[in-house]
Amino acid sequence: MTQSSRIMLSVLVNALLVMLASCALYLLENSWQARVDRENREIKQELYFNKAERYLERVTSNLSTVITNYSGLCSREFVIDMRRKLFNIPGAIEFGIVETVNEKGMIVCSSWGEGLNTVVRKPELSDGFLITGPHKINSLDVPVYVIKKTVDDVEFNILIKQDSVDDFIANNPEISITINNRILGEKYRDSNFVTHLSYVIPKVKEEKIHNGYFVLGSFLMLVIFYFLVTPRIVKLIERYILRFKIKNHYYYNEYQAIFHSENDEVFSIEVFLRSKYDTNIQESLDKIKHLNLNVDHTVFQINQIELNFDDDFIQKNSFQINISSLHLEDEEFIAKMISFAPSLRNRLILEVVEDEDLMEHKDVIKKHMTLLKGKGYRFAIDDFGTLYASLSYVSEFDFDIVKIDKLFIENNTKNNAILKAIISLTNEIGIGCIAEGIETEEDKEKMNSLGIHLHQGWYYCRSMSAEEITHYTVS
């Protein structure tokens, strides 16, 4: 994946993540806001209910006093006492006592004194206190509610101005009183004091008001995603694409023979990764390492060897596969290498490149090298004498071969002294030594003169396909 493609992918992934996260945040914010609104509304409804119930308790309590104190006589003392108590109730304007006279309802006592033979509706038996209305009474200019109770065919009632209790009887937006279910809505609670009276939540279309918290949240998520989340997702996508390419033969092997100069026979064959689409192979290798696909890459190369050559060719040659310290630290890699057949393991030389310091995790690496060597693998160290690949490697690790970087091939006194020291060391400890970068007859003769007879370089051959290396080595 090119840099421009990676940037475009990052932008798309980030945009998608922010969009999804913003939607989720928007929904969460709405849910949170709805919960807060609901809790606040429930608090207001409970306050309203308590207010209404306290009021009705005062009314019914006074009405009970009227019932208790009435002895059948509408005395002046009774009327004055009841009137005093009545006028302590906000909105209450009159109390009345109705009896059945000649099969008709007749007011026999009221706040005005004895009844004036006013004919009204006949008392009806009922349980508890009732509320009716609003009513329009001829003697009053305002509509009223009537709260009443019938005892032994005598009706006791109190008249209340409608507008004095409208804040909780009719016009409260949070909750209303319904009498005999005449107001539709969700039932909140029945009254504790008046029969057949319920508090309801009216069917009101609420206007949803959204706040802007999610805007700030979206911006913060954009920053978080861009710097923390998106790079990881892009890396996973790149890893998936690269693994797909490896498994589907986007890459292939090329091979370069390493010769023994004394008899011109092939000592081993180094395996190189190549791309079918002329991409920069070093970038691919760096990406493989960055995306932690070292195991996939190496297993692919080994599988290609099995596919490219028959068993006879494999058993007659050794193959050098590049690995790094990351391979040797990886339990998965070790398990996979052990799983190969012994006949293949004995023909593989694992060439450790010098891009990482083996000493950082030397105990694990030494343990794994010992395990693999016991299974038939051999080990070479690449670019000996440069960067990390120092004498300490030879001392600490059990290598079978060292490869001298072509840097030392240049003919000068210092390089010659280094090469002599290296060949003396390898001869002393009994390990092989390969000279890289042999490009001319002069390079070949120089290495021979120094006692280095394993040569690799363009003087002998370049890297080539499986078919070409088969024909080249057999012929």
**pLDDT tens digits, 324-336:** 888 999 999 999 9
Mean pLDDT throughout 250-254? 90
User: How many CB atoms neighbour CB 324 within 10 A?
Assistant: 20
Identify the pLDDT of residue 28. Answer: 76
Between helices 281-290 and 230-247, what is the axis angle to 10°? Answer: 120
Query: Which of 236, 189, 230, 208 is closest to 1 using CA atoms?
Result: 236
- HSE toward the beta carbon, residue 92, CA cutoff 13 A: 25
- How many residues are present in the chain? 475
CA distance linking residue 197 with residue 172, whole number of Å: 16
Q: Is the dihedral of CA 182, 183, 184, 190 positive or negative?
A: negative
Quick check: pTM over 0.75?
A: no
Write the DSSP symbol of residue 408: G
19 by Cβ neighbours in 10 Å (0-12 / 13-18 / 19+) ranks as exposed
Q: What is the pLDDT of residue 304?
A: 93
Q: Helix (H) and strand (E) counts for the chain?
A: 16, 18
CA proximity to 155, closest of 56, 59, 70, 52: 70
pLDDT digits (tens, 9 = 90+) for 351-379: 998 666 788 888 999 999 999 999 999 99
pLDDT given for residue 340 in this prediction: 95
Say if residues 65 and 84 touch (Cβ distance below 8 Å). Answer: no
Q: Compute CA distances 185 → 161, 198, 200, 208, 282, whole Å.
A: 24, 10, 6, 20, 74
What pLDDT, on a 0 to 100 scale, did the predictor assign at position 218? 67
